Structure 1
Amino acid sequence: MAKLDIKQHVTDTIVAQIEAGTPPWRKPWTGDIAGASFPLRHNGEKYQGVNVLMLWATAMMHGYQSARWMTFKQALELGGCVKKGAKSTKSVYYGTYEKEVDGEAETVRVVKYFSVFNVDQIEGLPEEYYIRPEPPRDLGTEANPELDSFFDAIGAEIVTSDKPQAYYDPKNDQVHMPPVATFYDAAGYYGTLSHEIGHYVLADHRIGTQKKFANRAEYSMGELEAEIFSAFLAVHLGFEPHFDQTAAYVEGWLKALKDDKNAIFKAAAQAQKAFDYVLGKQSVAAVSEAA
């Protein structure tokens, strides 16, 4: 049996979803009963990075509603049993080990994968494993003070004007947004704001991945990173994002992914860093408020 190229497997899965018109980081919010939810390990720990995208994609394709995933062995240990004929999904694990080279210890980075099953594919688990996530909140058409406070804590300068454009201005280090009242709904506003905040956080002097884009490939990767970040943020905050998905964007993403099987890993990793950065800002703001 040929050895599985896990990076190519992940890339092919994501590309197939985009070509079908349903990027996996968007589908969980479009009418599914379970609503938006980060995938969880058997112990309740959140998956991160590219695993979020892979498990979202699989859940969407097969209609899984549960947020939890586990290996065959973990299911048995919890008293459950994987249903006959159920097919596993690959999750990725990054690890390191020490190797002696010319008498010196050298750290070697390895990529492993595990076969996991969604709880919907498993019978006999304790009842709490089958609890479904809450559906996303309908924010209506007005600004949401709680979400405004969240974005304020990030520290970005958000400039509002009547100009009908949303963008990050790297020269002035500002995010520009049209007035919230000009959006069809508040979710569209906060989804768009999340994407532009993604560019702000990923800027060269913060996370450091989005420098001045020298070519179309770099531009596409920058947009993909910001898109995935905004999806992570929307799930965390519990609103339904309305992202633009123009033909140019999709074409750029597909080219970037097909040209480099590491691209989706890189984009997801940078999005995760940006997401962690934003959550760190929230923690600092909470401590300051308490003081």
Structure 2
Amino acid sequence: MAKQFDIQQHVTDSIIEAMEAGTPPWRQPWTGSKAGAAFPLRANGQAYRGINTLMLWLVAGKNGYASPYWLTFKQAKGAGGVVRRGEKSASVVYYNTLQKEDDVTGEEITVPYMRGYRVFNADQIDGLPDEYYRPTIIEARDLGTEANPELDAFFVSTGAQIETTEAPEAFYHPARDVIHMPPVNTFHGAGDYYATLAHETIHWTGHESRLGRLTKGRDREAYAREELVAEIGACMTCLTLGLTPDFGQSGAYVEGWLKALRDDKRWIFTAASAAQKAVDYIATNPICHREAA
């Protein structure tokens, strides 16, 4: 007999995984978003509520879905769409109650129950009407956070190409060899901005023309290792610059890979060593020396 799918365990495991990874999609130090943190919507435009909101946030953030709409296979077909072959569905929960007779008293009682069902994001479906593909854009807010000229000069001196646009995303793009940052005034604080920039700059050092950590076709463990390297390196960089790193978030990254650490006791040493090399690379970059001179 097939083992029954435990929706409660699935929900719990998914949330724990995201929290341990330290990167739940609703957690970011800047304002504005064009995916992930938007309230997920049913096919009819009604917003999901409660645990379903959290679950679909997790899936959207992990996969980069921009559309807020989620449809069952049947709903997608009814709207003229076709789920692309190989796409994986997300689990959501349906709550309701039923009336039954109490086994002891014989009285009619109300019993709550829930069942899981599967949905696909509109970004996984071809052929839907255009409105399903429009991302929900949460406008970034000007919080008045100001740049620090000395810290700006330091990061410019690394030689990294840093571009800033209104897009509410912070990332390093290996193919273009460019760091993208949202505007500093959309961050909750200057420390958050420079800690984020430090994290992306550590990724930048991993380019094949520098320290060569970023290999093509990385699996999940390789990706996790690089994130840990970037987070440790960002903490080191922040301390070097006189900033207070967010050890709470960094701790979450470390905690998220406890299994890998237990499986290989050298793993954390390797990551820390790679982080130190990245920090040293930045510090010994000829451009930095020219700036210092």
TM-score (norm 2): 0.48
The two structures have a TM-score, normalised by structure 1, of 0.48
Structure showing greater radius of gyration is 2
